[in-house]
Structure 1
């Protein structure tokens, strides 16, 4: 951080938080400023440059990503404050950074409820980390041509209980024709301190009705009239949960948001539909005053150790490798005398790519194993639930992709157990296998993993090539019976390659099974702390 200036900002409490007035408030604010400065001083290599208040910029609109030059001090005022209008709940916190080649202004709400605030901070940290990785090799030709990340938000509060958060995420790089803009939403019940997903409030069997309402409203908007006959509109509004997982609850409307390119061409931006609650009768059922808060999840450090999955007998259904699945249980037959392979996917889930991979696997009645990052679980909950309901296996790939061999025992346990909790909270299924990050392990990890560690025997190197044909060739040129194949479900070329790999493997006579199914069918019993590379090779 020696080349980066960092500012931390915070707004006064909102109307729903207790207020402190007069000299006490000034004292609290002074103490807060001193505390933040002390924290900043303690950060090695960082320059303390002060606390930046939310300053309005007179005479201009302050929307994100505008081509506004820096002021005399090199600062962008629009970047240093939240510029949205609706903040009905929570207190704004901001991270402002100025570097030689990039700038960022990230604003997010906190509610004083750790279960909610921790998820929000992890979400924000994930965005910042991804942006910094993207610009790592970028060099700005001029200070006003730096890469930019701008994250802003809005909040709505319904009946002092249901809070909805909308994040607007903008990335702009020199050379982009237009800034990349995405939206994400979170909804929480402040009484139960639990997330609210579409499945939680949607009346059973009413997803097609919701989809039809959305289609009708989009089609009736004159701004979209020229696009509703496109295949993009048809597929983007199909009655599947992933199309409708971004929603908001406001005082008068149930609002659906769609990503850029999801339903219309990119020129349309990120469309939304606000449906009055009067039209939602029989479609959604919001939590009432009698809803009870669930028991607190177990502390990560006290979380019980897992037992390895039991041997299979050839009859496999959803969630068979990690407990009982969600929804109806279908039975698949595995023939141990026929060749089989296990496709595995790391680092997801990611809505733009994992869903496509699941579609391909479902089309060909096949399954795979997904080694997930724990901090992606909450805002990709529908994908994880779908994995379980369709018979896939979920494995643990750490909470935020730290190199596990460099961590203390306490940090290591946090990475593993926090992911266990995140996945189980969303799906009801606890992972029973793990994959070490970077494929790196040592004695400490073997002794403390508490699960079998799964490596691979075929590496597609999709992270390196990002090329569809290369990925296909790596699989088809090397695959053998019992192989565990490594891919990553965060790359578009990988998702496209899977569309060819899956049917080709099947045509060659391979059964596509989960890792646990593969090893059990080969007569290999899984043990915690042991390393497994394929159906015939066990390395201790």
Structure 2
């Protein structure tokens, strides 16, 4: 099935946006002199938070963009409708543990309490069970790799948006470094990060990037990461 991806074109004018299939973009070209779209994944950690995550979903919907959200299990109860909206609107959902603890050094029972508990909660909420894992702080060891139950998705661009919450700096950091196949790390729990994310989308659209979920990016790169495999990017 063709991926529906957004592209803000120079002629769009007055904020008008259009959505194209990836095949159409490849056939027609993004702009004069650009033959092949550049693909990138936008990912968010630590949510859901109703106020900021909903604002982000609204902005992504207006742009036709799909992202990947790595959720904290303890934040899902009471926000089931937000998580269901993510799923319904084509975003991918992953696990970021139950209460944001380091997974390294945990025994099997403690690991299960963080990852399997969250996986089961998401399964109950969404009715499927295909959730990828992002360990907090990106920390892994042999135990995490062995017990992951899915690919482990890290990142290649991290503007540390949690640090100074400076929107201009966050945008510049990401846009100046973005390349085909990158995975961007942001957090959907800060209003500044939501603003930065939408500005990043607009700026990278102008540079010929298309935004995919992790699964979509894997599909386009024709790779199938195995359980426990660590992925930081999907370069051509």
Query: TM-score, with normalisation over the residues of structure 2?
Result: 0.85
Distance in 1 (CA, whole Å) between partners of 2:218 and 2:156 is 13
Task: State the 1:316 CA deviation.
Answer: 4.1
Distance in 2 (CA, whole Å) between partners of 1:417 and 1:333 is 35
Matched residue, 1:315? 2
Q: Deviations over 1:118-145 (max 9, x none)?
A: xxxxxxxxxxxxxxxxxxxxxxxxxxxx
Q: Which SS does the other structure have where 1:490 is aligned?
A: coil
1:484 to 175, 180, 183: 183
Distance in 1 (CA, whole Å) between partners of 2:221 and 2:192 is 31
Matched residue, 1:451? 150
Unpaired segments ≥5 residues, structure 2: 5-18, 27-35
Distance in 1 (CA, whole Å) between partners of 2:185 and 2:92 is 14
Task: State the 1:406 CA deviation.
Answer: 2.7
Distance in 2 (CA, whole Å) between partners of 1:490 and 1:430 is 24
Point out which structure has higher relative CO (alpha carbons under 8 A, 6+ apart). 2
Q: Which SS does the other structure have where 1:357 is aligned?
A: helix
Q: Deviations over 1:352-385 (max 9, x none)?
A: 2111111111001111000001111111111101
- 2:210 matched to 1:520? no
Give the helix-richer structure, 1 or 2: 2
- 2:117 matched to 1:430? no
Task: State the 1:333 CA deviation.
Answer: 2.9
Q: What CA RMSD, in Å, does the superposition of the two structures yield over aligned residues?
A: 1.8
Answer yes or no: is the 8 Å Cα contact 1:360–1:498 preserved in 2: no
Distance in 2 (CA, whole Å) between partners of 1:510 and 1:340 is 6
Answer yes or no: is the 8 Å Cα contact 1:375–1:422 preserved in 2: no
Number of equivalenced pairs: 211
Rg bigger for which structure? 1
1:417 to 100, 104, 116: 116
Q: Which SS does the other structure have where 1:465 is aligned?
A: coil
Cα distance, 1:407–1:340 mapped onto 2, change above 3 Å? same
1:334 to 19, 22, 25: 22
Unpaired segments ≥5 residues, structure 1: 1-313, 318-330
Answer yes or no: is the 8 Å Cα contact 1:378–1:426 preserved in 2: no
Q: Which SS does the other structure have where 1:340 is aligned?
A: strand
- 2:83 matched to 1:395? no
Matched residue, 1:439? 138
Matched residue, 1:497? 196
Answer yes or no: is the 8 Å Cα contact 1:339–1:511 preserved in 2: yes
Matched residue, 1:463? 162
